[in-house]
Amino acid sequence: MSPPVKLGIVGLGRWARVLVRAAQRSQNLKIVSGYSRTPETREAFAREFGIAAASDLRQMFADTEVRGVILTVPNEQHFPVAEQAARAGKHVYTEKPIAHTLEDGVRICELEARHGIRIVVGHSARLLSGTRLMKAAIQRGELGRLACIEANFSNERALELTPQNWRWYRAQCPGGPLSQLAIHQFDSLACLGGEIIQVMSMASKLSPAGAEVDDQSMTLVKFADGKLGYVGSCWTSPGIFSIRCFGQKALMHYEVDFSSWDHPDRLHESSSLYVQRGKNGYGKREELELPQSNMFVDELESFARAIATGELPELSATNGLAAAAAVNAALLSIDRGGETVALAEVIDEARARVRRQAKAA
C-alpha cells in the first residue's frame, strides 16, 4: 500500500463538498488544503472537514506536500488557475467542462506537456457502473460491431430559471442543456464508440420561464468508423439519464433513476441495465446486475493514480476537449440552421486563435 496522494482543493462551494466527502472514502488520496477567495467560506470549510485552509493560492501551490489540485472554480477560471497550478508543478483535476471556451480548453491541454503534469477532467458519467459494464462488453466483443448509440440526459432545470441564475444567460450557458447535460453524453458516446467526427443539431426554447437560453437540444453524431449517435437533452421535464448501444450481436440499454444522482453509491439500487442478444434470442432480454460504485470517488482515485504512476488518465484533457468541441460544433450547427459541422473545424479554429493570440501577446 502506497501512502495516499495529497491534494489541495480550490473553490469551496457546493460541489467541493460533494468531492471532499467522496475523497474521505478513499485510501488513495487525501485532501490536505483548501482555498476559497472568501475568508468565511474557507474557515467554515476548515472547521467542517478538519482540512487546513490556505490563505492564498500561492501558499497552496508552494506547499511541496500538495501534489495535485482539484478545481471547482467557475468555468472561466479553469484555465487561469490550472496554469498557475501547473507552473508550480501541480497536477490538475478540473470539473467538466474542460473550460468555458474551446481556446482555454486547448490551452489546458497544452499545460500537460509544457509543465510535465497530468490533467484530469471530471467527466464522471463515464464512470457510472452501467457505462463501465457496457464498455467492457463492447471490448470483449459481446455486442459485435456497434452500429448506433443513443443517449439522453434531461432534467427540469429550465422550469425554475430566474435572471439571478447564471444559466439564464446565453453567454454563460450556451445552448442551455447542450452545454450542461448533453456534454456528459458526448463523452459517454466517445467512451463507448470512439472518436466523434461530425455533429448536426436542433434546438428549441419552450419553458415559460423566459430565460435567454434554449432549453431543448437534439444532436446527431457521426463517429470516425461510420457509426451513428444521438444525444438528446430536454431541460423542461423530469430527469433521465439513459444510454442504448446497438450492436450486431446484442443491444444494451442502461437507464439511471435520476432521483439517485446525488448519491452515486446508491444509483445501482434504482437503475437498470439489460442486454438483448442476437440471433438466438432477439427480443429476449436479460437484466444484468449493476454493482455498487461511486463515480466521484472513482474520478478522484483516477486523478491520484495518474499522479502516482504518471499514466495518461482515461478522463484526459484530450477527451474533455473533444466533449467540449462536440458542444461547440453543435452550437455552430444550430446557428447555421442544422448544417453538419466537423469537430476538426472547431478544434482547428480554436488552436489557430490560440496561436494568433500567443503571437500577439
Q: Contact positions toward its own copies, by CB under 8 A?
A: 145, 147-148, 150, 152, 154-156, 159, 200-207, 215-218, 220, 222, 226-230, 232, 234, 236-240, 244, 246-248, 250-251, 257-261, 270, 276-279, 281-285, 337-340
Residues with Cβ within 8 Å of residue 277, at least 6 apart in sequence: 249, 250, 284, 286
How near is the Cβ of 201 to its own copies at its closest, in Å?
8
Task: Name the residue nearer to its own copies (CB basis): 99 or 250.
Answer: 250
CA atoms within a 13 Å half-sphere pointing along the CA-CB vector of 20: 23
CA distance 321 to 71: 16
CB 259 within 8 A of CB 239: yes
How near is the Cβ of 54 to its own copies at its closest, in Å?
38
Task: Name the residue nearer to its own copies (CB basis): 90 or 277.
Answer: 277
Task: Name the residue nearer to its own copies (CB basis): 41 or 261.
Answer: 261
How near is the Cβ of 222 to its own copies at its closest, in Å?
6
How near is the Cβ of 63 to its own copies at its closest, in Å?
41
How near is the Cβ of 95 to its own copies at its closest, in Å?
23
Cα 355 → chain centroid: 26
Task: Name the residue nearer to its own copies (CB basis): 232 or 313.
Answer: 232
Long-range contacts of 51-60 (CB under 8 A, 24+ apart): 51/9, 51/20, 54/8, 57/10, 57/81, 57/84, 60/8, 60/10, 60/33, 60/35
Q: Residue 43 has which C-alpha cell?
A: 474557515
- What is the CA angle 268-272-278, rounded to 5? 135
Is beta strand 5-10 parallel, antiparallel or unpaired with respect to 29-35?
A: parallel
How near is the Cβ of 44 to its own copies at its closest, in Å?
30
Task: Name the residue nearer to its own copies (CB basis): 53 or 245.
Answer: 245
Longest dimension (CA), the chain: 65
Name the β-bridge partners of 200. 220
Task: Name the residue nearer to its own copies (CB basis): 204 or 309.
Answer: 204
